[in-house]
Structure 1
Amino acid sequence: PKSMGADAKKAISLTKELTSMATTQNLEALLKLLNRDAKKLAEAAQMMTDKTIPAPIRKPLEKAFNLVFAQVKKLVNAELKAMTVAGNLTDLLNLVVQNEKDLVLIYATMIEETIPATLRKPLEKAFNKVVARIKKLIGKEVLGASELRKLLVSSSSSVITDNNIPEIVSLVGRVLDSANPKAIKEAVSTVRPKILKLIEGQIDRLDELKGTTVQVGTKLDEDEQEFIKKRRLITKGAIESLTGLKNLQPHELPTIAMCASGGGYRAMIGARGFFVGAEDIGLMDTTTYISCLSGGTWATWPYLLKKAKDKGFNTKDAQANLNDTTFPNSNPFLIDNIVKNTEKVRDIAANFFTKYFMNEPITFVDVYGILIGNALLSEMFGNNTYEQALHDMQAYSKTAESPLPIGTAIITNNRVKEWLEVSPFSAGSIYLNSYVSTETFGSRFDKCKITTVLPSQFAGYFLGTFGSAFALNSSDFLDESGLQNERAIGFLIEKELAALNKLLDLPVVGGIIKRLDIPLTQKAVHQVAKRRPLAAELKNFSYNCTGKLKNAENLVMVDAGLAFNLPLPPLVDRKEREVDVICVIDMSGGLQNKKAPAGELLKAVKYFEKKGIPFPVKESDFKDKKINIGFEPCSVFKFSDAEMALLKRTGQRKNNLTVLYFPWCADISSCYDKGDKWCGTFNFNYTSDQVKELAGCMSGNVKKSEGKIKQAIIDSIKDKTKTA
């Protein structure tokens, strides 16, 4: 009838479309329809529960929706049935290869969040059955290491002793010798001493760490509290020197932090340049924290890891080091430095063996971490590259001689996007309401207590997690003009695959990678990379303990850029840190878009609005021509007196928060003169002159803004004095 409402008419139309969709007899065609009509399916799911739509109209819609669900379930189960019941690994792998196209499409569809979860569940269930079958047959036919695994994953510290280490290593050898060809047998014999060393290290840690418990709540751990006390003794003199003020009292000293964004090698180079400028004007010594993300992590963690071993290593040395760590197209990720170095190959193989046999989750990030770790650390640490761990700088951080670095990732279990932080002292999340020591991050916990101590993660693993090129969300695959940059994506993947293929040629390392469920084909990587990151996985320390993921055995993590590109949450959300001044180093792509400037900062503003957390930057600031956000070397934001009065009254903030926003020098003429955009996010190949120009521009911007920086710190001191 003409009086029928628009929603009712829409429901009738959707019923017809879904009924037709449910008659599709080909899985590939049906999945393509699900992706194409995701919006309509979401509307249908919503209308099915809309009581304002008459039941005679809603019921047929619900029936049509259920028909689509039944058809998806029927077709995917039929398609994958042969794989889930394959009797041997050879047959199963042949089926996987034959059906690669369908598997990639199934995976891409099952993680497409715009499609109703109800329709994705049968895909996920069927896909996981195939994965489980692969893992079962790998364990049964290839590795056959159940006896060894029982030894290594036992929660009893008495199982692994000095007496049975030789037995364990011998068993590793027997398992590998029986499963691999002659070339691998020979290589394995050189790896055993490394495995022995790792297992011995685990034994040494068992007694030391077996009483470790999860810290429930967001209170700062004792090490960080002690760090803050010592750091204040250093920042006091530096703040007085920078501002010209004397005899500042403890309660007057502002806590100053830096926030280093993502943005690939551009972000790494720009942040290193900013650090040089900050050191030159005395800002670095006033700083307590450096929160970092992706490329910002690549700038920060390797620099401080090296400084922990060599206190004379400074920001200028770190910038100079970039001339060595950029790599040519012919040698992606400096991979030749691995394959030609027997010592490094042994370290990699031993780490892989130990992690796999101890039943730790292994994902693409383990492989990627080898590559990025080699590229960023090998010139600093040589043959000791693969022995570096994040908690190695713990002793140095306790001296408080440098700012405390905080790496970030996003937890994506159950499709949430919640921030996780890792410092030399602890790792954890407000969302999980729990933290553990960084040394035990990745070990097994149950009911808030450690049950099995696992080997420490190689630093490259976290550098890969914090900044994986495969962990970028879809917007990161847009170039500065906002168009899909297929050429850039393809080029990046091609370079990474070239490096991976060289790893695959190594007898032992390649043998392991080939036997794990890690997608390495270009087609699979390309398809998945466009849709969703390939995540890192570690054991969940909050398992059966506390928080919203206490039922999950593993934490799934990706580059925090999946949320937004500025790691502000550890500095703002974690109120216990009482940060007063934040220097935001924004090296994000598309930052100087005149229609929508500083897009990642705007995302952060909306994040804090949604969380109900006070933040001095407002959405209206982005339209204020006087501020000219994103186009000035430095913009300053703080709460007004009236805003602060309200925040104090409501108990939301004790002191003002000042944000100094430093956008990157996107107007560097040589970057665009030749039309090649060498400063693009996907470029990993910088010349020495380009490094010098980009880093120098960021360093110069700090010096240009010295007056603003000083005044912001002075104003913060005045605010704290008034509060006291």
Structure 2
Amino acid sequence: MQKQSRGCGTAKVLSDAEMPGAYEKPQLLPLQPHKEGGLPATFIFHVNPVISSRLDVELGEKLTVLQSGPSAELETQTSKLGEGGILLSSLALGQEEQRFVALGEDQEVVLSMKAEMSSGDLDLRLGFGLCDGEQEFLDKRKQIVSKALQQVLGLSQAPDGGQVPVVAVLGSGGGTRAMSSLYGSLAGLQELGLLDTVTYLSGVSGSTWCISTLYQDPSWSQVALQGPIERAQARVCSSKMGAMSPERLQYYAQELGSLEGSSHSVSLIDLWGLLIEYFLYQEENPARLSDQQEAVSQGQNPYPIYASINVRTNISGEDFAEWCEFTPHEVGFPKYGAYVPTELFGSEFFMGHLLQPRPEPRICYLQGMWGSAFAASVDEIFLKTAGSGLSFLDGHRGKVNITDDCQKLQLHDPTRLRTRLFTPQGPFSQAVLDIFTSRFTSAENFNFTRGLCLHKDYVAGREFMAWKATHPDAFPNQLTPMRDCLCLVDGGFAINSPFPLNLLPQRAVDLILSFDYSLEAPFEVLQMTEKYCLDRGIPFPRIEVLPEDLEEPRECYLFAEAKDPRSPIVLHFPLVNRTFRTHLAPGVERQTPEEKARGDFAVNGSDTPYGMMNFTYEPEEFERLVALSRYNVLNNAETVRQALRLALQQRQAGDRAGG
């Protein structure tokens, strides 16, 4: 039925030019002659020459009608008058040509076109090795680690550079609890002289807030941590009401408006980053991640690695997550071997070329992304809290069937993908899935891998789960380089500790000190990492825990795989209050009622002050948590030294490859 009404309107003839697969969106072609002395409209399309592309031109009419009546409304109707196109393969490279494009009866447009092949070096790094900045750091850090090992292990001489084991300290997620606890753990390592034996310091979620704050001081690990801990306490124990003051709200509006004005897709995570900025500093923090290059320029501190994951909006992080690492020198995906300089994160790239540079984001926006634990779907919330997702959703998901048996073909070509037939469900099932599996928010950033072509044998890479029938890796057109934006969220949605980024073979980590600040399931990150490694053929020790350890965990566990020296040694510290309850310090029991009361507290439980959503502690609560984490390291000093000796022995025996 056609709506009849009386009114007045205007008609406008438009012409659009579009190139499927190009970086640019459709462009508007003016049909009126250009003004005297002016230049005709010029535009550029960037496209992959491998793709058989064409320039499509469409002629349309846009009719705008103002309806008469008590409530006048504008109605817009668009109709297509004609279309045409030009195959790019018909253009000679480097020569300007005039082409006539017929758009229908008595309609044509004249285009002056020139095809050029892009030349020059890429503006990002492709490869699976370490960047120059990190490699230069390692060369300098080895000398510091070697001297520290000689001192803490009582060696007669410092190990040679090739025999120095690589030690990584990992901090788990856990919001303010993780941030506060990591200060205590690092203080314990520093007090034992062990902090200088550490090569990498890596974190997820709340731990990244501690690490990124420490690295504002280029020599933080060379001075006592009491100062940074006192400053952290002042922030954690202060009121957060000022975050909602009229001045701060105006500041948020200005900052987010500035982001939007620079074509950034603003999300709740950006606002969260500004709130985190207030919680941590209570003032504008101009720091950027690339500023931290100064803190590693002489190898004086461990190398920081901040973790995030790239996700799909309607798939849980446990089912699909691509680990993205942020370091002072680069941001990138080890899975794809694609990295951009940290200063260029947030800029627009296509096929490895920088098309639109944009300012590097302030670190508060990264802190919001790294710690965006609220960016979950309803299904993920059930998965994390109840241990399983919403099972009724399985009946609403699309089905994937293997339509051929290519086992014989795979004998000749192991990388051949089997043909998969994807059958989507109906609109009702899709609506149900959208409600329960879509994320509340995610940090959308320009995709620096966009337009990159993967090697035809990409499925042979161990990072790709193409052997799983329903995994997105099994569908080449769903890989991240085919997408416009990255959806980056808290790495804890996949594994609540940055193990995957520290298990890369190019980093050759020998010993991992894992600090787990979760309130429940103290071995979950290890078990999930073990499964992650099994799926990808990555050496990792078997995680075998006794039932009594699940009920009442100890302060420290050592896991090593004697049969496979390629496997790293893992020293795992759950957040528990066992001997700290009765001891002021290792070997020193609590005597007075005040001392006993100070140690008698539960970390978890229904009335714990250390819940995920609690960002403000009482001074005593903060001091207890930091003291507990510090004590648990000091009380297991000999176990740490034992792990260091074992890692050194493996290096000296040549069982581990160099970085």
Which TM-score applies when normalising by structure 1?
A: 0.57
Taking a change above 3 Å as real, the CA distance of residues 661 and 242 of structure 1, as seen in their structure-2 partners, is: same
Distance 1:249 1:624 in 2: 42
Q: Give the aligned partner of residue 506 of structure 2.
A: 576
Aligned residues: 447
Quote the Cα distance in structure 1 between the aligned partners of 2:340 and 2:510. 26
Relative to its length, the structure with more strand (as a share) is 2
Say if 1:432 and 1:546, in contact at 8 Å, map to a contact too: no
CA distance in 1 between counterparts of 2:140 and 2:202 reads: 19
User: Are 1:480 and 1:589, in contact at CA under 8 Å, matched by a contact in 2?
Assistant: no
CA contact (8 A) 2:240 2:279 kept: no
1:401 maps onto 2:300 in alignment: yes
What is the match of residue 221 of structure 1? 131
Match of 1:455, SS state, is coil
Partner of residue 190, structure 2: 279
- CA distance in structure 1 between the partners assigned to 2:220 and 2:203 by the alignment: 22
Give per-residue Cα distances to partners, 1:388-444, cap 9 Å, x unaligned. 211111222222211111111111137431111101111111223201111111101
Does the C-alpha gap of structure 1 residues 670 and 233 become closer, same or farther in structure 2, counting only changes over 3 Å? same
Q: Determine the structure 2 residue equivalent to 1:543.
A: 450
User: What is the DSSP-based 3-state SS (H/G/I as helix, E as strand, rest coil) of the residue aligned with 2:181?
Assistant: helix
User: What secondary structure, in the 3-state scheme, does the structure 2 residue paired with 1:577 have?
Assistant: coil
Q: 1:605 aligns with which of 530, 540, 552?
A: 530
Q: Is the CA contact 1:477–1:530 (under 8 Å) kept in the aligned structure 2?
A: no
1:668-690 Cα distance to aligned partner (Å, 9 max, x none): 74247996211222222211111
Distance in 1 between residues matched to 2:572 and 2:520, nearest whole Å: 16
The 5 A counterparts of 1:320-719 are 320-326=230-236, 331-332=240-241, 334-335=242-243, 339-340=246-247, 351-378=255-282, 382=283, 385-413=284-312, 415=315, 416-472=320-376, 532-547=439-454, 548-572=479-503, 574-591=504-521, 598-618=523-543, 621-623=544-546, 631-640=553-562, 642-644=563-565, 653=566, 656-665=567-576, 669-671=600-602, 676-719=607-650
The residue type equivalent to 2:294 in the other structure is: A
CA distances 1:587-631 after superposition (whole Å, capped 9, x unpaired): 012135xxxxx222212211111222110133xx02376x77971
Residues 258, 582 of structure 1: 8 Å contact kept: yes
Q: How does 1:120-199 map to 2 (within 5 A)?
A: none
Q: Give the Cα–Cα distance (whole angstroms) in 2 for the partners of residues 386 and 335 of structure 1.
A: 14
Instruction: Please give the residue correspondences for 1:197-216 in structure 2 after superposition, counting only pairs within 5 Å.
Output: 213-216=123-126
Instruction: Tell me if the contact between 1:543 and 1:551 (Cα under 8 Å) persists in the aligned partners.
Output: yes
What is the CA-CA distance between 1:710 and the residue it aligns to? 0.7
Q: CA deviation at 1:242?
A: 1.1
Say whether the 8 Å CA contact 1:582–1:660 is kept in structure 2. Answer: yes
- Code of the residue aligned with 1:400 in structure 2: it is G
Report Cα offsets for 1:297-316 as digits up to 9, x if no partner: 112111112x1387876422
The gaps in structure 1 that reach 5 residues or longer are: 1-86, 88-149, 156-209, 485-526, 593-597, 645-652
Inter-partner Cα distance in structure 2 for 1:707 and 1:629: 25
Per the alignment, in what secondary structure is the counterpart of residue 445 of structure 1? strand
| Cα distance in structure 2, aligned partners of 1:563 and 1:441 | 22
Closer, same or farther: CA 672–299 of 1 in aligned 2, 3 Å: closer
Letter in 2 for 1:719: Q
Cα pair distance change 1:444/1:309, threshold 3 Å? farther
Q: Residues 6-63 of structure 1, C-alpha deviation per residue, up to 9 Å, x if partnerless?
A: xxxxxxxxxxxxxxxxxxxxxxxxxxxxxxxxxxxxxxxxxxxxxxxxxxxxxxxxxx
Give the counterpart letter for 1:560 in structure 2: G
Q: 1:579 to 1:480 in 2, by over 3 A?
A: closer
Q: Which residue of 2 aligns with 1:316?
A: 226
CA gap 1:287/1:359 in 2 versus in 1, 3 angstroms? same
Q: Taking structure 1 as reference, are residues 632 and 672 closer, same or farther at Cα in structure 2, changes over 3 Å only?
A: closer
* 2:91 match: none
Q: Secondary structure at the match of 1:716?
A: helix
Q: What CA distance in whole angstroms lies between the structure 1 residues aligned with 2:137 and 2:365?
A: 26
SS state at 1:558 partner: strand
Partner amino acid, structure 1, of 2:158: N
Deviation string 1:74-115 (CA, Å, 9 cap, x unpaired) is xxxxxxxxxxxxx9xxxxxxxxxxxxxxxxxxxxxxxxxxxx
Counterpart contact for 1:584–1:660, Cα < 8 Å: yes
Give the superposition deviation at 1:260: 0.4
Q: CA deviation at 1:340?
A: 4.2
Distance 1:630 1:287, change over 3 A: farther
**In structure 1, how many angstroms separate the alpha carbons of the residues matched to 2:189 and 2:182?**
10
Change in Cα spacing, 1:438 to 1:480, as seen in structure 2 (3 Å) is closer
Residue type of the partner of 1:321?
R
- CA, structure 1 residues 313+397, in 2 after alignment: closer, same or farther (shift >3 Å)? same
Q: Distance in 2 between matches of 1:673 and 1:722?
A: 43
- CA pair 531-273 structure 1, distance change in 2 beyond 3 A: farther
* Cα separation, partners in 2 of 1:293 and 1:680, compared to 1, 3 Å: same
Report the secondary structure of 1:557's partner residue: strand
Q: Which residue of 2 aligns with 1:195?
A: none
1:249 counterpart = 2:160 = yes
Could you say if the C-alpha distance between residues 248 and 542 of structure 1 is closer, same or farther in structure 2, counting changes exceeding 3 Å? same
**Residue 321 to residue 528, structure 1, CA distance change in 2 (3 Å):** farther
Larger radius of gyration: 2
Shift of 1:386: 3.5
Describe the SS at the equivalent of 1:371: helix
Which residue number in structure 1 is paired with residue 213 of structure 2? 302
**Structure 1 residues 528 and 299: CA distance shift in structure 2, 3 A:** farther
Q: TM-score, normalised by structure 2?
A: 0.62
Cα distance in 2 for partners of 1:467, 1:212 equals: 32
- How far did 1:700 drift? 0.4
Provide the alpha-carbon RMSD of the alignment.
Answer: 3.3
Q: Check 1:480–1:422 CA distance in 2 against 1; reply closer, same or farther (3 A cut).
A: closer
- Structure 1 CA distance, aligned partners of 2:536 and 2:377? 22
The alpha-carbon distance between structure 1 residues 630 and 536, as it changes in their structure 2 partners (threshold 3 A), is farther
1:104 aligned partner: none
Cα displacement (A) at 1:534? 1.3
Shift of 1:352: 3.0
Q: CA contact under 8 A between 2:219 and 2:300: conserved in structure 1?
A: no
> For residues 615 and 299 of structure 2, what CA distance do their matches in structure 1 show?
33
Which structure is higher in helix share? 1
